[in-house]
Amino acid sequence: MLYSFLRPLLFRLDPEDAHRITLRAIGLAYKLGALKPLHYSCPRHVMGITFPNPIGLAAGLDKNGEYLDALSALGFGFIEIGTVTPRPQPGNPLPRLFRIPEAEAIINRMGFNNKGVDALVENIRQSNYTGILGINIGKNFDTPIEDAAEDYLICLSKVYPYASYITINISSPNTQNLRQLQSADALDSLLAQLKSEQQSLAHVHNKYSPIAVKIAPDLNTEQIATIAQLLKKHHVDGIIATNTTLSRQGVAHLALSHETGGLSGAPLTQQATSIIQQLQQHLHDSLPIIGVGGIMSATHAKDKFNAGASLIQVYSGLVYQGPDLVSEIANEVCNNSI
Ligand SMILES: Cc1cc2nc3c(=O)[nH]c(=O)nc-3n(C[C@H](O)[C@H](O)[C@H](O)COP(=O)(O)O)c2cc1C
């Protein structure tokens, strides 16, 4: 309710300022006890984890894990933080975040702006959050793509003890050549190294943290088949579909659509659902799919579940609908036990 009053004000601000102000306001409200924690209970057992409900916060909104306690009060069944890189980095020059309100869309070319993996770990340690925590890891912009595995391995070992699951982000369009890691040979080699390190870490920490791979929506049917086959081969624990798209279909006529970056929100809904459907045809429930991309309503969420997703995540929908989106989806999904 409140958000429908706030949104016009926030939308007058520069998008990145609005993002920062909103997070700080939620954080402050939580600290002052003005945010009544919401809980939606419809448990799902996925990747060996029991999620209190299947609605998650997608990566990129809280890149450094600075707002875990406050965000958990919004009723999410899980929160994914990051993308985090081994070393801190500023990301791309401003401006790098754009709204296209006519299409309920966002374009971003943030470029993994984050405070580095050590700061993220410290933030987790300082928080009281005890819910399901996904930690999304990537590579620094100046690490050559041939050495990318090393960055993922550094992050994996540092976040491992704190993560309920770890997401390998190989699909951001804003780090040069990152998406090349989705190609067969590169992915085969990366997954072999990550799964071997996961085994060692499981032994050291006496705890198994599942690994999920996050893919782009801009993949053809052959590429999707290859990725699905490699995920099965390496016993990867889950797949997150999808990241933002390079396509401008449906928005090309609108102001700011020419901006470089990844497009998210309503124009991505069908494209992401179609990727989930195709994955499901290859995977046949052999590993779970976390559906994300253009979930702006409970109906969109149901479509993702019907396509084969076991869990879902939201980001742009929160910007356009506000936090009530979580309760709207929970009411629909939990009451009808989809
Ligand atoms: C501003 C912004 C920053 C994002 N940053 C990340 C990120 O750091 N890592 C990542 O895996 N995805 C990132 N994403 C992608 C989202 O997690 C999600 O996959 C994508 O936006 C599609 O979902 P949506 O349509 O609900 O926004 C970002 C998205 C936006 C809009």
Q: Could you tell me which of 7, 159, 193 has the C-alpha nearest to residue 85?
A: 159
- Token pair 């580095």: residue: 116
Residue range 282-331, pLDDT digits in tens:
999 999 999 999 999 999 999 999 999 999 999 999 999 999 999 999 99
Is residue 337 predicted with pLDDT exceeding 80?
Answer: no
With beta carbons less than 8 A apart as the criterion, state whether 295 and 317 touch: yes
Residue 263 belongs to domain spanning: 2-335
- The preferred substitution site among 108, 115, 175, 244 for testing ligand 1, maximizing ligand atoms within 8 Å of CB, is 244
Distance, CA of 338 to CA of 332 (rounded, Å): 9
Rg of the Cα atoms in the chain: 18
- Token pair 């690490």: residue: 143
C-beta 120 within 6 A of ligand 1 = no
Residue range 239-250, pLDDT digits in tens:
999 999 999 999
Domain count, the chain: 1
Query: Which CATH number is 270's domain given?
Result: 3.20.20.70
Distance, CA of 84 to CA of 281 (rounded, Å): 31
With beta carbons less than 8 A apart as the criterion, state whether 254 and 267 touch: no
Is residue 338 predicted with pLDDT exceeding 90?
Answer: no
Q: Which two tokens stand for residue 21?
A: 């102000």
Q: Catalytic annotation on 196?
A: no
Residue range 33-43, pLDDT digits in tens:
999 999 999 99
Is residue 1 predicted with pLDDT exceeding 90?
Answer: no
Contacts (Cβ under 8 Å, ≥6 apart) of 177: 145
C-beta 58 within 6 A of ligand 1 = yes
- Token pair 């579940």: residue: 305
pTM of the predicted structure, to 2 decimals? 0.98
With beta carbons less than 8 A apart as the criterion, state whether 244 and 316 touch: no
